[in-house]
Amino acid sequence: MVQIEYKLTEKELYKGLVENSNSRFITKLFRGFGSVVLVVMVYMTAVNITSGINNFSLAFLFPLVMGVYMVFLPEITAKIQVPNLIKSKNPFTELIKVRMDGNGFRMKGETFSNHLPWEQFHSIVETKDFFLVKAAEATANVLPKRVFTAEDMIEFKSMAASLTGPKVILK
Protein backbone atom coordinates (compact mmCIF):
# COMPACT_ATOMS: atom_id res chain seq x y z
CA MET A 1 0.00 0.00 0.00
CA VAL A 2 1.25 3.47 -0.92
CA GLN A 3 -0.03 6.60 0.81
CA ILE A 4 0.93 10.10 -0.26
CA GLU A 5 -0.24 13.59 0.56
CA TYR A 6 0.37 16.67 -1.57
CA LYS A 7 -0.85 20.04 -2.78
CA LEU A 8 0.01 21.01 -6.34
CA THR A 9 1.79 24.31 -6.84
CA GLU A 10 0.75 26.61 -9.67
CA LYS A 11 3.80 25.52 -11.68
CA GLU A 12 3.04 21.83 -11.06
CA LEU A 13 -0.59 22.34 -12.06
CA TYR A 14 0.55 23.92 -15.34
CA LYS A 15 3.11 21.18 -16.03
CA GLY A 16 0.62 18.46 -15.08
CA LEU A 17 -2.00 19.78 -17.50
CA VAL A 18 0.59 20.01 -20.27
CA GLU A 19 1.94 16.49 -19.54
CA ASN A 20 -1.59 15.06 -19.51
CA SER A 21 -2.37 16.70 -22.83
CA ASN A 22 0.94 15.59 -24.35
CA SER A 23 0.20 11.97 -23.43
CA ARG A 24 -2.90 11.95 -25.67
CA PHE A 25 -2.88 10.67 -29.26
CA ILE A 26 -4.95 13.59 -30.58
CA THR A 27 -2.37 16.07 -29.26
CA LYS A 28 0.42 14.20 -31.02
CA LEU A 29 -1.65 14.24 -34.22
CA PHE A 30 -2.27 18.01 -33.89
CA ARG A 31 1.43 18.64 -33.26
CA GLY A 32 2.41 16.65 -36.33
CA PHE A 33 -0.12 18.36 -38.58
CA GLY A 34 0.72 21.80 -37.13
CA SER A 35 4.43 21.19 -37.71
CA VAL A 36 3.79 20.34 -41.36
CA VAL A 37 1.66 23.48 -41.79
CA LEU A 38 4.40 25.59 -40.16
CA VAL A 39 7.14 24.15 -42.37
CA VAL A 40 5.06 24.78 -45.50
CA MET A 41 4.20 28.32 -44.42
CA VAL A 42 7.81 29.18 -43.52
CA TYR A 43 8.93 27.78 -46.88
CA MET A 44 6.28 29.81 -48.72
CA THR A 45 7.28 32.93 -46.80
CA ALA A 46 10.95 32.43 -47.67
CA VAL A 47 10.14 31.87 -51.34
CA ASN A 48 7.90 34.96 -51.47
CA ILE A 49 10.50 37.17 -49.79
CA THR A 50 13.34 35.98 -52.04
CA SER A 51 11.07 36.50 -55.09
CA GLY A 52 10.32 40.06 -53.99
CA ILE A 53 6.66 39.36 -53.24
CA ASN A 54 5.63 41.19 -50.09
CA ASN A 55 1.88 40.76 -50.44
CA PHE A 56 0.78 39.12 -47.20
CA SER A 57 -2.95 38.78 -46.50
CA LEU A 58 -5.15 37.17 -43.86
CA ALA A 59 -5.42 34.12 -46.12
CA PHE A 60 -1.66 33.77 -45.75
CA LEU A 61 -1.50 34.65 -42.06
CA PHE A 62 -4.32 32.34 -40.91
CA PRO A 63 -2.56 29.02 -41.69
CA LEU A 64 0.62 30.32 -40.07
CA VAL A 65 -1.22 31.23 -36.84
CA MET A 66 -3.14 27.93 -36.88
CA GLY A 67 0.10 25.98 -37.30
CA VAL A 68 1.62 27.71 -34.27
CA TYR A 69 -1.57 27.11 -32.30
CA MET A 70 -1.66 23.39 -33.15
CA VAL A 71 1.97 22.89 -32.19
CA PHE A 72 1.65 24.74 -28.88
CA LEU A 73 -1.97 23.85 -28.04
CA PRO A 74 -1.25 22.16 -24.65
CA GLU A 75 0.91 25.02 -23.44
CA ILE A 76 -1.53 27.73 -24.58
CA THR A 77 -4.54 25.95 -23.10
CA ALA A 78 -2.82 25.28 -19.76
CA LYS A 79 -1.62 28.88 -19.53
CA ILE A 80 -5.24 30.03 -19.85
CA GLN A 81 -6.72 27.35 -17.53
CA VAL A 82 -4.33 27.50 -14.54
CA PRO A 83 -5.21 31.02 -13.29
CA ASN A 84 -8.93 30.20 -13.56
CA LEU A 85 -8.49 26.90 -11.69
CA ILE A 86 -6.63 28.63 -8.88
CA LYS A 87 -9.14 31.49 -8.58
CA SER A 88 -12.12 29.11 -8.49
CA LYS A 89 -10.64 26.96 -5.69
CA ASN A 90 -10.77 23.90 -7.95
CA PRO A 91 -10.11 20.49 -6.33
CA PHE A 92 -6.78 20.47 -8.22
CA THR A 93 -5.54 23.10 -5.78
CA GLU A 94 -6.60 21.35 -2.55
CA LEU A 95 -4.52 19.31 -0.14
CA ILE A 96 -4.98 15.77 -1.45
CA LYS A 97 -4.46 12.43 0.27
CA VAL A 98 -4.04 9.37 -1.94
CA ARG A 99 -4.05 5.71 -0.94
CA MET A 100 -3.17 3.07 -3.54
CA ASP A 101 -3.26 -0.66 -2.99
CA GLY A 102 -4.14 -3.83 -4.87
CA ASN A 103 -7.84 -3.05 -4.56
CA GLY A 104 -7.78 0.40 -6.12
CA PHE A 105 -7.10 4.08 -5.93
CA ARG A 106 -8.55 6.30 -3.19
CA MET A 107 -8.28 10.06 -3.36
CA LYS A 108 -9.58 12.50 -0.76
CA GLY A 109 -9.47 16.27 -0.81
CA GLU A 110 -11.07 19.02 1.22
CA THR A 111 -14.25 19.00 -0.91
CA PHE A 112 -14.27 15.55 -2.50
CA SER A 113 -13.59 11.87 -1.97
CA ASN A 114 -13.52 9.09 -4.54
CA HIS A 115 -12.51 5.47 -4.91
CA LEU A 116 -12.06 3.48 -8.09
CA PRO A 117 -10.86 -0.08 -8.61
CA TRP A 118 -7.85 -0.34 -10.93
CA GLU A 119 -9.92 -2.10 -13.62
CA GLN A 120 -11.87 1.13 -14.23
CA PHE A 121 -8.77 3.16 -15.11
CA HIS A 122 -7.72 3.87 -18.68
CA SER A 123 -3.97 4.11 -18.09
CA ILE A 124 -1.09 4.98 -15.80
CA VAL A 125 1.60 7.07 -17.47
CA GLU A 126 4.95 8.04 -15.96
CA THR A 127 6.50 11.32 -17.06
CA LYS A 128 9.65 13.08 -15.87
CA ASP A 129 7.94 14.79 -12.92
CA PHE A 130 4.59 13.02 -12.49
CA PHE A 131 2.56 9.86 -12.54
CA LEU A 132 -0.65 10.41 -14.47
CA VAL A 133 -3.35 8.05 -13.23
CA LYS A 134 -5.97 8.37 -15.96
CA ALA A 135 -9.61 7.42 -15.47
CA ALA A 136 -10.17 8.31 -19.16
CA GLU A 137 -7.81 9.33 -21.93
CA ALA A 138 -8.48 13.04 -21.44
CA THR A 139 -8.52 13.24 -17.63
CA ALA A 140 -5.80 12.41 -15.14
CA ASN A 141 -5.01 12.47 -11.47
CA VAL A 142 -1.61 14.16 -11.39
CA LEU A 143 0.68 12.66 -8.75
CA PRO A 144 3.93 14.60 -8.36
CA LYS A 145 6.96 12.34 -7.97
CA ARG A 146 8.40 14.70 -5.35
CA VAL A 147 5.96 13.33 -2.73
CA PHE A 148 6.97 9.69 -3.19
CA THR A 149 9.70 8.21 -1.01
CA ALA A 150 12.13 5.86 -2.76
CA GLU A 151 10.31 2.87 -1.24
CA ASP A 152 6.88 4.25 -2.23
CA MET A 153 8.13 4.82 -5.80
CA ILE A 154 9.35 1.22 -6.09
CA GLU A 155 6.16 -0.17 -4.56
CA PHE A 156 3.90 1.95 -6.78
CA LYS A 157 5.77 1.01 -9.97
CA SER A 158 5.66 -2.65 -8.99
CA MET A 159 1.93 -2.43 -8.24
CA ALA A 160 1.24 -0.59 -11.51
CA ALA A 161 3.27 -3.08 -13.57
CA SER A 162 1.24 -5.98 -12.16
CA LEU A 163 -2.16 -4.44 -13.00
CA THR A 164 -4.24 -6.02 -15.76
CA GLY A 165 -6.92 -3.32 -16.24
CA PRO A 166 -5.25 -0.06 -17.25
CA LYS A 167 -2.53 0.41 -19.86
CA VAL A 168 0.71 1.07 -17.94
CA ILE A 169 3.54 3.15 -19.42
CA LEU A 170 6.47 3.44 -17.00
CA LYS A 171 9.99 4.72 -17.62
In the chain, % helix, strand, coil (3-state, to 5) comes to: 50, 20, 25
pLDDT digits (tens, 9 = 90+) for 125-134: 999 999 999 9
DSSP annotation of 84 reads H
What's the pLDDT at 152? 94
Q: Comparing 142 with 53, which gets the higher pLDDT? A: 142
List the chain domain ranges.
2-9+89-169, 15-87
Q: Comparing 36 with 89, which gets the higher pLDDT? A: 36
What's the pLDDT at 31? 95
Task: Please state the separation of Cα 79 from the chain's center in Å.
Answer: 12
What is the second-level CATH architecture of the domain 2-9+89-169? Answer: Roll (2.30)
What are the phi and psi torsion angles at 148 (to 5°)?
A: -85, 135
If DSSP codes are grouped into helix, strand and coil, which group holds residue 121? coil
pLDDT digits (tens, 9 = 90+) for 100-120: 998 899 999 989 999 999 999
Residue 103 φ/ψ region, left for φ over 0, alpha for ψ in the -120 to 50 degree band, beta for the rest:
alpha
What's the pLDDT at 48? 83
What's the pLDDT at 57? 74
Strand ranges, E, within 32-135: 96-101, 104-108, 113-116, 123-126, 130-134
pTM of model > 0.85: no
Decide if pLDDT at 143 tops 90.
Answer: yes
Residue 52 φ/ψ region, left for φ over 0, alpha for ψ in the -120 to 50 degree band, beta for the rest:
left
